[in-house]
Amino acid sequence: MKPYLIAEPALRRLELTITRRLDGLLQGEHLGLVPGPGSEPAESRAYQPGDDVRRMDWNVTARTNEPHVRDLVADRELEIWALLDATASMDFGTAAMEKRELALSALAAVGFLTQRTGNRIGTHLLHGGGVRTLPARTGRPHLMALLQAAFALPRTPPGVSEPLIGVAADQLGRVVRRRGLVVVVSDFLDAPETWELPLRRLTARHQVLAVEVLDPRELSLPDVGILTLIDPETGRRREVATGSARLRRRYAEAAAEQRDAIGQALRRAGATHLRLRTDRDWVRDLVRHVMRQRRLATLAASPAMPRAPGGPPSGPPSGPPSGGGDVA
């Protein structure tokens, strides 16, 4: 059975939790995968310490001689676009599933978590044949058809030239006009300088969730003697003597540096970072990420506590949570 079908009941229960109406100054009537302020003006209210001064309602302030801010309500109809990396580097896995299967599961999770009346989801499928675009539409039949199209993508033979994730992100930015949620699911193995700027352009207009998928063998090498390694994107072969402790240590250090560079590039781009592994319970990691973002949004929306005499101000920060939250 496909992983996204196995996890559907758990995701549906999670959907009921994270999309219920919230009180206070959060997202109004919609809470997404990446919490953030809305875009539609709501009613004015008296200013409280910690409120964003950029939301000052100067007309009401002038009439009442007291500072007022205008709350924002998120749009009820959310448009979600997903960029799914199905290139040859994703056809790898040594644990419970391949990275390609995990990426498809993440795409299904986005669809199940955001599926409600009026919401639309579309995808850009990046694979050896180029970029295939499926338009954003509503309804469960469309979501299942979208997942089936992603599942049916052919594997890319080794050595076939493939487009970069940064090129696909640029194309997505030109297609998506309406502000919404953009989810990029990839292993991000392309050089960060090729995709950091395109992601930054996306975050300037949309909420961006970057889902990084990886396999444990990409982090460390086991001692299995002579190991033949094949680059799935170039077809290059190389034999490695894994019995060398020095080689395994250097491999682990280089892998850690690579993942750290990916995380830093995603933070600089302003994207929220979710890391999923093929040897872990991806549903649990997704739940932890969503709930962590929800807690950060709650802390950011809470008014600051008064300053203690002779001490620094206490309470949560007044600004929005920064992107780049990581679930390892």
Per-residue pLDDT tens for 32-48?
454 444 444 556 788 88
Amino acid at 286: L
Q: Which pLDDT band, with edges at 50, 70 and 90, does 78 fall under?
A: confident
CA nearest neighbour of 290 among 27, 34, 26, 4? 34
Cβ neighbors of 113 (< 8 A, separation 6 or more) are 11, 14, 15, 18, 19, 33, 290
Mean pLDDT of 178-189: 92
- Residue 41 has a pLDDT of 54
Confidence of residue 301 (pLDDT cuts 50, 70, 90): low
Q: Is the pLDDT of residue 177 over 90?
A: no
Q: What is the pLDDT confidence band of residue 268, given thresholds at 50, 70 and 90?
A: very high
Q: Give me the mean pLDDT over the 151-176 stretch.
A: 86
pLDDT of 116 reads 62
* pLDDT above 70 coverage of the chain, percent: 74
The residue with tokens 């990029």 is 184
Q: What angle do CA 179, 138, 136 make, to 5 degrees?
A: 50
Can you give the pTM of this predicted structure?
Answer: 0.72
User: Rounded mean pLDDT of 173-190?
Assistant: 90
The confidence score (pLDDT) of residue 44 equals 77
- In 10 A of CB 275, how many CB atoms? 19
pLDDT at 286 over 90: no
Residue 254 has pLDDT above 80, yes or no: yes
pLDDT at 213 over 50: yes
Per residue in 219-235, pLDDT (tens digit) is 998 888 888 887 776 77
Q: Would you place residue 305 in the very low, low, confident or very high pLDDT band (cuts 50, 70, 90)?
A: very low
- Mean pLDDT score, 210-220: 94
> Is 185 in contact with 106 (CB distance < 8 Å)?
yes
Q: How far apart are CA 153 and CA 102, in angstroms?
A: 14
Q: How confident is the model at residue 130 (pLDDT cuts 50, 70, 90)?
A: confident
